[in-house]
Amino acid sequence: MTKTLLILPGDGIGPEVMAEVRKVIDWFNARGQDFEVSEDLVGGCAYDKHGTPLHDDTMARAQEVDAVLLGAVGGPKYDALDFSVKPERGLLRLRKEMDLYANLRPAQCFDALADFSSLKKDVVAGLDIMIIRELTSGVYFGEPRGIINEGNERVGINTQRYTESEIERVARSGFEMARKRSNKLCSMEKANVMESGVLWREVVQKIGDTAYPDVELSHMYADAGAMQLTRWPKQFDVIVTDNLFGDLLSDLAAMLTGSLGMLPSASLGAPMANGRPKALYEPVHGSAPDIAGQGKANPIACILSFAMALRYSFDMGAEADRLEAAINTVLAQGLRTADLIGEEGRAPVSTSEMGDAIVAAL
């Protein structure tokens, strides 16, 4: 079956790191895979051409393909633009219209980089956990919201709000992910102080009891979770949590392992007619204007995002393992882009040298 990919390199280092992903895709296609790639604009470059950060035709195409792969959007050139056409709005529109409610953020430590973390080596070596953050609801979207006048002062208001169905669908993402990994799921909220947390815990437990009795489910208050994540992260496998706590916990967990240049992400929605979920894969980092155009960017985050696409859109777990092993190999050989060099002062390789080495290791 043909696998359709829409590639949106975007701005800044986006096109540079995506060029390395294209090499990896070409490698797979040269060995019998059937990835059909189309490329289009998003962000500032789309604004420059069309006057909008995401053209309707691009949006329509994103709805049709099996997976969207995005580089990064934005940059100082666009800072003064009106909010309605800012590059970031292109990405937000994709997430909203594709209804991508489950944001997957792995925290994975490559053996060769275990020394690079700020934590003790035995805490991070071999770490491989997955945080699933609810992405479309909760306190970032709940009504009422705003700044109102009350008596003689102003009040800022946000509302944490979750419906049962919103909790249920992301909980199912968590359980499904646990089944693909080691059958262990930890759900985090603050049921001790928040009503939405009480409902969250109840719904997750009910889904677990009725549909996923084989998955070992635990619950933890999110603040305790933050502490446990830094103390001994390997106690977790899959964590599912709401939008706000997930925002914090996924950044925390991600940085256990090292550089922004190493972190992939996926955002998944409901299954399409062919059974594959609506999906958008992107590195966690932004457009990095400070190093754009210099061949310094680390392409690994973007390449790992493609590995996630292999795993979660195309059921190609063995190929994803192989790609991750190739990355581990080049890191073990000592290849480092500039962001992965600490005190030791070795010479960095360029973006394309790193991409070439990964393809060679494949």
Using rule CB under 6 A, residue 258 touches ligand ATP: no
Beta bridge mates, 220: 188
Residue 25 C-beta-side C-alpha neighbours within 13 Å: 23
| Burial (0-12, 13-18, 19+ Cβ within 10 Å), 288 | buried
| Closest among 169, 159, 148 to 277, alpha carbons compared | 169
Choice among 66, 242, 247, 339 that is catalytic: 247
Check if 247 is active-site.
yes
Between 89 and 190, whose beta carbon lies closer to ligand ATP?
A: 89
Applying CB under 6 A, the span of 38-46, 241-249, 296-304, 326-334 interacting with ligand ATP comes to 296-304
Q: Which is nearer to Mg ion, 66 or 282 (CB)?
A: 282
**Could you tell me the two tokens for 34?**
């059937």
222 contact choice in ligand ATP, Mg ion, none (CB below 5 to 8 Å, kind-dependent)? none
Task: Tell the residue number behind the tokens 């060099």, with chain if given.
Answer: 341
| x/- map, 3-42, ligand ATP, by CB under 6 A | ----------x---x-------------------------
Closer to ligand ATP by Cβ: residue 261 or 277: 261
The yes-or-no answer on residue 242 being catalytic is: no
Q: Give 126's DSSP letter.
A: T
Query: Could you say which residues in the range 321-350 bind ligand ATP, by CB under 6 A?
Result: 339
Q: Determine whether the annotation assigns residue 122 to a binding site.
A: no
Report yes or no: 175 and 213 within 8 Å, Cβ to Cβ.
no
Is 43 annotated in a binding site? The answer is no
34 as an active site residue: the answer is no
End-to-end CA separation in angstroms for the chain: 23
3-class secondary-structure state, position 283: strand
49 has binding-site annotation: no
The answer to whether 77 touches 111, Cβ cutoff 8 Å, is no
Cβ neighbours of residue 28 under 8 Å, at least 6 residues apart?
A: 35, 319
User: How many secondary structure helices (H) and strands (E) does the chain include?
Assistant: 12, 12
Per CB under 6 A, the segment of 148-156, 231-239, 282-290, 311-319 that binds ligand ATP is: 282-290
CB-closest chain residue to Mg ion: 286
Interaction between residue 298 and ligand ATP (CB under 6 A): yes
Binding residues for substrate: 95, 105, 133, 223
Query: Among all residues, which ones are annotated catalytic?
Result: 140, 190, 223, 247, 251
Binding residues for NAD(+): 75-88, 286-298
List the binding residues: 75-88, 95, 105, 133, 223, 247, 251, 286-298
